[in-house]
């Protein structure tokens, strides 16, 4: 730490020496030329520049030639490009989004005093005494440039560096340097020293695509700008002159030598003691790693979120607007889901299953927040997000929508009977004869709705869909948030349309909440960098399903995971409900299930729609994947129970 009495030098002793501001361009030019004359000792350079000014019409003409310079007052509303950040629901960073400039803004109060002192010491020790330019430094540099016949040495103050970065080109000419000086004086007349220093520290380049001190501190030392100690502050201040040359990521020896120069300058100015200098030199530097282009911890999630953000706010706002996005994702659940997908896929391959991909979507029924989303086995090998982009036939996992429609009509109960017997329907171009999974001779005769669903009988589902009305089934799906295209074809109850795993998980989440619905979302809240709310997806649940019909359906689906049910391999030894799905030719297998706290959909298949092999079912191959994830996700969660249908009035 800085010794007593020195820590506040920036805001007290030096500030007291600040001169009165100059108010016109003539004074600027006079100050510039007097510095040249003092440094040159009346040499030809001073005479030449004065003569040139006279030849151009004098100092008034000089001022007139710069009348089109930018109005520095625009900096009042200037907002530099800032990095956007995506977090999980607990505030853990998932990813950052930015264009060329990786930057996070810090106020002057959020920056360690050690860093401010170090920067001023090495870059412009007269910062608090000049008005934007230092005539003696300019004169010294001008004399050196005159001797070398060109612009080889600069004399920029912090204010001049700021206006150069914001307003001017980087060409090394006298006219550009004079414009820089004029703008610097104008900035000093409009802004306080603290405001100028804040803008400077947030705008300059610190190496490795880091713009601004907050981003630099996090990248180099894994801490915020306000947490920097003297040793770290000296390193960062030293980077400004040549960021890559002095980068600790590239040449630690150069870093230490440059750090020593900064500390020596601070000691010479008596801003630190010799003891503090030596302590800082000996202090270990716990160097971090570049963060500008770090990969997302959950790429399938961040891509979904980024796409929605761009649709709402535009790509420019997402990459440069410094927005803060709190997703609904629980990173712990996400990690569990990814582990389950990898482990299960390896196991399925060992069993000889010809399945290239597995996708999973998990939704909290209480909020309809997406808690985990895995779009494939390996993001590196394929970025296609099957959880939200791939519409695959759900097979029999679609049947609960048909059975709910029947129950909600008031004409059916779980005990209502249906005849599992041959049936045919005329369709364009022929006759449709639905069959059960066992083939053309597989019929069960009279059975209850509950039994037909637990055993996943196809013929009863088709008959039921026809009886209640396929348009009404589609209406129920739309109410539950399924937006994929649907047509009222006779095979609809068997899942002959395409849906996404996220749509299925969201719809079943409403079953799990006994009919309470909120819009499924992966984004909870979006704010700007100052905390102003841009988007708020706080749930506003509505009862959209009949409670009795929903509770009755859940009771039926609980039987699917019990002995005799098609999903018994998904049993997790707590109250759970679900439905298997297997499409014709074994191209897709599903298991979609839920407990009161979580609804999860699992799909297994091939991107090329090839069969996975004869006899492959959702109960044998998708249900175990679901079970693997749910056991992990529910390990520390209390056992909860579904409401009984007897609690509600029948429609």
Short-list 105, 124, 97, 294, CA closest to 216: 105
Cα Rg of the chain (Å, integer): 35
Residue 575 CA to residue 512 CA, distance in Å, equals 11
Tokens 């520049």 sit on residue? 49
Half-sphere exposure of 611 (CA within 13 A, CB side): 8
Residue 568 CA to residue 547 CA, distance in Å, equals 26
Measured CA to CA in angstroms, residue 68 lies from 31, 74, 77, 150, 327 at distances of: 21, 14, 20, 26, 47
DSSP code at position 570: G
Residue 283 CA to residue 435 CA, distance in Å, equals 77
Short-list 364, 308, 394, CA closest to 517: 364
Residue 142 CA to residue 609 CA, distance in Å, equals 74
84 phi, psi to nearest 5 deg: -100, 150
352 phi, psi to nearest 5 deg: 90, 10
Annotated catalytic residue, options 95, 96, 101, 396? 396
Cα dihedral 288/93/95/213 (nearest 10): -50
pLDDT in tens, 333-352: 999 999 999 998 988 888 87
Short-list 524, 519, 528, CA closest to 480: 519
Q: Residue 373: beta bridge partners?
A: 361
H or E element, residue 580 = strand 577-582
Angle between helices 399-408 and 547-558 (to 10 degrees): 140
The yes-or-no answer on residue 123 being catalytic is yes
215 burial via Cβ count (<10 Å: 0-12, 13-18, 19+): buried
pLDDT on residue 208: 81
Short-list 317, 340, 338, CA closest to 329: 338
CATH of the domain spanning 336-355+365-647, picked from 3.30.565.10, 1.10.3720.10, 3.40.710.10, 3.40.190.10:
3.40.710.10
The yes-or-no answer on residue 483 being catalytic is no
> How many C-beta atoms surround the C-beta of residue 260 within 10 A?
15
Residue 129 CA to residue 496 CA, distance in Å, equals 78
Tokens 């970065």 sit on residue? 165
pTM reported for the whole predicted model: 0.74
Residue 297 CA to residue 226 CA, distance in Å, equals 26
Annotated catalytic residue, options 123, 188, 218, 232? 123
Short-list 187, 233, 26, 205, CA closest to 102: 205
Residue 344 CA to residue 624 CA, distance in Å, equals 8
The string of DSSP letters for 278-321 reads: HHHHHS--------TTPPPSSHHHHHHHHHHHHHHH-HHHHHHB
Please, which residues have CB within 8 angstroms of residue 282's CB and are 6 or more apart in sequence?
A: none
The string of DSSP letters for 321-369 reads: B--EEEES--HHHHHHHHHHHHHHHHHHHHTT----EEEEEEEETTTTE
H or E element, residue 405 = helix 399-408
pLDDT on residue 182: 81
Please, which residues have CB within 8 angstroms of residue 490's CB and are 6 or more apart in sequence?
A: 425, 427, 432, 434, 462, 465, 466, 470
Short-list 544, 548, 560, CA closest to 400: 560
Residue 613 region by backbone torsions, left for phi larger than 0, else alpha for psi between -120 and 50, else beta: left
Short-list 246, 248, 166, CA closest to 204: 166
Tokens 């003409």 sit on residue? 61
Please, which residues have CB within 8 angstroms of residue 291's CB and are 6 or more apart in sequence?
A: 96, 102, 210, 215, 218, 219
User: Which segments of the chain have a pLDDT < 70?
Assistant: 1-70, 77, 79, 99-101, 136-155, 168-177, 289-295
Measured CA to CA in angstroms, residue 608 lies from 137, 312, 392, 397, 496 at distances of: 70, 33, 12, 21, 18
Domain boundaries, the chain: 80-102+295-327, 336-355+365-647
- Taken in order 480, 607, 619, 631, is the CA torsion positive or negative? negative
pLDDT on residue 380: 83
Measured CA to CA in angstroms, residue 641 lies from 228, 280, 514 at distances of: 51, 61, 11
Q: Residue 99: beta bridge partners?
A: none
Strands 84-87 and 324-327: parallel
CA 212 to chain centre: 20
Is residue 191 within 8 Å of residue 264, measured between CB atoms? no
């Amino acid at each position: 730490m800085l010794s007593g009495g020195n820590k506040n030098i920036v805001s007290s002793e030096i500030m007291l020496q600040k001169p009165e501001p100059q108010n016109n361009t003539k004074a600027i030019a006079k100050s510039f030329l007097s510095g040249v004359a003092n440094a040159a000792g009346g040499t030809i350079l001073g005479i030449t520049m004065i003569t040139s000014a006279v030849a151009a019409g004098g100092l008034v003409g000089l001022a007139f030639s710069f009348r089109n310079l930018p109005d520095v007052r625009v900096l009042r509303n200037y907002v530099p490009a800032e990095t956007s950040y995506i977090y999980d629901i607990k505030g853990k960073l998932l990813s950052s989004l930015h264009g060329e400039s990786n930057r996070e803004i810090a106020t002057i109060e959020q920056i360690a005093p050690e860093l401010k002192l170090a920067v001023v010491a090495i870059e412009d020790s007269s910062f608090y005494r000049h008005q934007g330019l230092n005539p003696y430094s300019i004169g010294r540099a001008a004399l050196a440039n005159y001797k070398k016949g060109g612009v080889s040495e600069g004399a920029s103050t912090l204010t001049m560096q700021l206006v150069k970065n914001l307003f001017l080109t980087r060409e090394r000419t006298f006219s550009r340097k004079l414009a820089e000086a004029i703008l610097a004086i104008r900035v000093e007349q409009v802004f306080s020293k603290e405001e100028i220093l804040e803008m400077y520290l947030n705008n300059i380049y610190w190496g490795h695509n880091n713009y601004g001190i907050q981003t630099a501190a996090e990248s180099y030392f894994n801490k915020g700008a306000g947490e920097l100690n003297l040793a770290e502050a000296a390193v960062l201040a030293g980077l400004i002159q040549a960021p890559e040359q002095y980068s600790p990521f590239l040449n630690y020896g150069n870093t230490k030598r440059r750090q020593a120069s900064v500390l020596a300058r601070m000691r010479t100015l008596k801003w630190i003691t010799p003891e503090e200098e030596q302590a800082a030199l000996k202090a270990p530097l716990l160097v971090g790693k570049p963060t500008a282009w770090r990969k997302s911890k959950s790429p399938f999630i961040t891509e979904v979120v980024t796409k929605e953000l761009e649709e709402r706010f535009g790509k420019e706002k997402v990459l440069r607007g410094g927005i803060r996005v709190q997703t609904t994702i629980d990173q712990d659940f996400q990690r569990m889901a990814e582990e389950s997908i990898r482990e299960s896929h390896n196991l399925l391959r060992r069993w000889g299953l010809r399945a290239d991909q597995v996708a999973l979507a998990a939704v909290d029924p209480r909020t309809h927040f997406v808690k985990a989303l895995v779009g494939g086995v390996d993001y590196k090998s394929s970025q296609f997000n099957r959880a939200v982009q791939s519409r695959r036939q759900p097979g029999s996992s679609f049947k609960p929508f048909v059975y709910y429609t029947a129950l909600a009509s008031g004409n059916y109960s779980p005990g209502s009977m249906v005849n599992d017997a041959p049936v045919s329907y005329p369709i364009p171009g022929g006759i449709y004869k639905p069959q059960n999974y066992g083939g053309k001779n597989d019929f069960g005769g009279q059975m209850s709705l509950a039994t037909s669903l637990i055993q996943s009988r196809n013929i009863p589902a088709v008959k039921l869909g026809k009886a209640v009305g396929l348009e009404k089934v589609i209406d129920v799906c739309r109410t539950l948030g399924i937006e994929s295209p649907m047509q009222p074809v006779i095979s609809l109850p068997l899942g002959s349309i395409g849906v996404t795993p996220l749509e299925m998980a969201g719809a079943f989440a409403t079953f799990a909440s006994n009919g309470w619905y909120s819009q499924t979302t992966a984004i909870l809240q979006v704010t700007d960098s100052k905390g102003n709310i841009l988007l708020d997806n706080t749930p506003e649940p509505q009862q959209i399903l009949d409670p009795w019909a929903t509770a009755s359906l859940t009771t039926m689906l609980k039987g699917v995971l019990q002995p005799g049910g098609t999903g018994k391999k998904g049993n997790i030894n707590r109250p759970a409900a679900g439905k298997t799905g297997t499409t014709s030719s074994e191209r897709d297998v599903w298991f979609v299930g839920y407990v009161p706290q979580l609804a999860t959909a699992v799909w297994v298949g091939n991107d090329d729609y090839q069969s996975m092999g004869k006899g492959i079912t959702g109960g044998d191959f998708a249900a175990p994947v679901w079970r693997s994830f749910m056991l992990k996700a529910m390990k520390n969660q209390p056992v909860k129970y579904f409401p009984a249908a007897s609690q509600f009035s029948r429609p």
